[in-house]
Amino acid sequence: MGTLTSCSFSTVNLKLCSDLGKDFRDRTQLKKWKKQSSLCFLCKGGISKRAVFNFSKIRCFSANNNNNNHDSEKDVVDNGSDSENGDKFSNVKAASSEEKEERISNEFGSDKAQASVSSRPPPISPVGPAYNNFQVDSFKLMELLGPEKVDPADVKLIKDKLFGYSTFWVTKEESFGDLGEGILFLGNLRGNREDVFSKLLSRLAEATGDKYNLFMVEEPNSEAPDPRGGPRVSFGLLRKEVSEPGPTTLWQYVIALLLFLLTTGSSVELGIASQINRLPPEVVKYFTDPNAVEPPDMELLLPFVDSALPLAYGVLGILLFHEVGHILVAVPKKVKLSIPFCIPNITLGSFGAITQFKSIIPDRSTKVDISLAGPFAGAALSFSMFAVGLLLSSNPAAAGDLVQVPSMLFQGSLLLGLISRAILGYAALHASTVSIHPLVIAGWCGLTTTAFNLLPVGCLDGGRAIQGAFGKGALIGFGLTTYTLLGLGVLGGPLSLPWGIYVLICQRAPEKPCLNDVTEVGTWRKAAVVTAIFLVALTLLPVWDELAEELGIGLVSTF
């Protein structure tokens, strides 16, 4: 097998080759040698069909095919004349410089690469980066395992049927979606965006049925707003099976059930911990002394389970109200929700629940409504429990149901601490312990959990509300600020770190865009979102010692 050295064109004059040896004196032997020798991949019989060149100026570096495997550089010349004794060829000694050899080696590979003899030349590599077989196989595997892309035939059909002078004039197409599985149509809007989008959805259903979803989004990297007002818009096309969330699986139902059982247990544990002044000393020491290693007999806690159930019911009831609020708003708007995945927490009983959208949200107003409905419902029940509990705490008739808690707990929230101070009075809170009704604890935990879920970050309820009301850009700014405040412990106190880790792991990604992700929400929805975020900050902002001493919230000297 011969060795392919290199091949290139250069402006040198054709030369007659010297004699190849006694074995190639006549034309018959010459043709036999040509047939068996390896040729340059640009040349077949000395001429390439793909190359355009001057016949008088071609230089070919080929390889001999003998058993010595020594590469040689030859000038192959066809002078168009036939002599009676046949063509004569001579070996021409290469006299190129080191730079020329390096250039030839870089362009056509190593001079030791083996080239198989073939009657047809190998194909020329296309212009661009070269990929090895492993990389090509990896690309094919990614394409096979990745989401199904839009059919090019459907793209042409959709452009013909949907877009035009009366709706949207397409000027450019780009990839769309997380992995570029869709098509983004860029161009010029020819009417009111809501009316155009409605027409496009109707035409899409007529042209392709239930195969694709069409999104109206802001044009990326737009330099100027739309002349009709508002941002410039583009239309993204994705397959339904790619853009819509999948159904809930059996394993997800099992996980949701296990998380609910764990949340029930953490809620009961909260109810037991609220009776700390009644618990056996060894149990209190184990839960409060960091040096305690040996756990106490858990059977000692059984008598306190019954009295802990009302508080546990309150925490679970608030969680249930939160989810029902989401459902009551989502069902009329034909938005499907997943089963809630409860998050247990021993401090608050629960960190709330993760509820996913199982269908695409039609518009931003719907996103805001569904996102705020759950927290507002949970907050309404929580505040009712909190207020009623404070009133019962100051009622002597309910003294038998009260529990003793450290007054420093009221410094965990500026808003709730001020409300407690206003109802219970200075004397009650300016002491080492405070007697309160268990409903106060349930309401406090519910309001704190609701506030955490309304933080404007990721796909929390607050993040979804900010994204729907002010756009994804505003969510990024709010999110960075929230992460900074949580990291510094400004919001949430000792719960800021576990909550921040939980959000980073489970809820950091923003919600996917709506079908109509351009039309803005009304003013009152924006005002509701801003008010909710303001109340969240007041709820999660702890009371510092100087202000606590001045307001009489807790006994600072006991710390």
Return the pLDDT at 110.
Answer: 43
Return the pLDDT at 533.
Answer: 94
Return the pLDDT at 137.
Answer: 56
Q: What are the boundaries of each domain within the chain?
A: 147-243, 250-551
Nearest to 510 by CA among 448, 450, 461, 454: 461
Residue 59 pLDDT > 60: no
Of 79-93, 98-112, 296-310, 449-463, give the range with the top mean pLDDT.
449-463
How many C-beta neighbours within 10 Å does residue 505 have?
A: 8
pLDDT digits (tens, 9 = 90+) for 258-308: 999 999 999 988 888 887 777 777 777 776 666 766 777 777 777 788 888
Return the pLDDT at 431.
Answer: 77
Report the distance separating Cα 259 and Cα 48, nearest Å: 71
Return the pLDDT at 86.
Answer: 43
When comparing pLDDT for 294 and 31, which is higher?
Answer: 294
Return the pLDDT at 42.
Answer: 39
Q: Collect all residues with Cβ–Cβ distance below 8 Å to 76 and sequence separation of at least 6.
A: 17, 43, 46, 58, 60, 62
pLDDT digits (tens, 9 = 90+) for 509-536: 888 889 999 998 989 999 999 999 999 9
Order of all β-strands in the sheet with 182-189? 168-176, 182-189, 233-239, 212-218
pLDDT digits (tens, 9 = 90+) for 415-437: 998 898 888 888 878 778 888 88
Of 101-110, 133-142, 262-271, give the range with the top mean pLDDT.
262-271
Return the pLDDT at 136.
Answer: 56
353 burial type by CB count under 10 A (0-12 exposed, 13-18 middle, 19+ buried): buried
Instruction: Give me the mean pLDDT over the 545-551 stretch.
Output: 79
Return the pLDDT at 65.
Answer: 42
Report the distance separating Cα 205 and Cα 144, nearest Å: 28
At 188, list the tokens.
């010029």
Task: Return the percentage of the chain with pLDDT > 90, whole number.
Answer: 30
When comparing pLDDT for 482 and 81, which is higher?
Answer: 482
Instruction: Give me the mean pLDDT over the 155-164 stretch.
Output: 89
Task: Return the percentage of the chain with pLDDT > 70, whole number.
Answer: 71
Bridge partners, residue 188, by sequence: 169
When comparing pLDDT for 88 and 354, which is higher?
Answer: 354
Return the pLDDT at 274.
Answer: 80
Report the distance separating Cα 106 and Cα 344, nearest Å: 63
Residue 232 pLDDT > 70: yes
Residue 54 pLDDT > 90: no
Return the pLDDT at 316.
Answer: 93
Return the pLDDT at 19.
Answer: 44
Return the pLDDT at 60.
Answer: 41
Residue 384 pLDDT > 90: yes
Return the pLDDT at 85.
Answer: 42
Residue 108 pLDDT > 50: no
Q: Collect all residues with Cβ–Cβ distance below 8 Å to 12 and sequence separation of at least 6.
A: 57, 59, 75
Instruction: Give me the mean pLDDT over the 104-122 stretch.
Output: 44
pLDDT digits (tens, 9 = 90+) for 169-182: 999 888 888 777 88
Return the pLDDT at 282.
Answer: 75
3-state class (DSSP) for residue 301:
helix
Report the distance separating Cα 247 and Cα 255, nearest Å: 15
pLDDT digits (tens, 9 = 90+) for 461-513: 999 999 999 988 899 999 999 999 988 888 888 888 888 888 888 888 888 88
Report the distance separating Cα 118 and Cα 244, nearest Å: 52
Residue 326 pLDDT > 70: yes
Q: Collect all residues with Cβ–Cβ distance below 8 Å to 324 and sequence separation of at least 6.
A: 377
Average pLDDT, the chain: 76
Residue 387 pLDDT > 80: yes
When comparing pLDDT for 149 and 515, which is higher?
Answer: 515
Return the pLDDT at 148.
Answer: 67
Return the pLDDT at 289.
Answer: 66
Residue 69 pLDDT > 60: no
Return the pLDDT at 134.
Answer: 59
Report the distance separating Cα 135 and Cα 141, nearest Å: 10
Query: What pLDDT band is residue 340 in, cutting at 50, 70 and 90?
Result: very high
pLDDT digits (tens, 9 = 90+) for 3-13: 444 343 333 34
Of 80-89, 94-103, 445-454, give the range with the top mean pLDDT.
445-454
Return the pLDDT at 383.
Answer: 94
Residue 80 pLDDT > 90: no
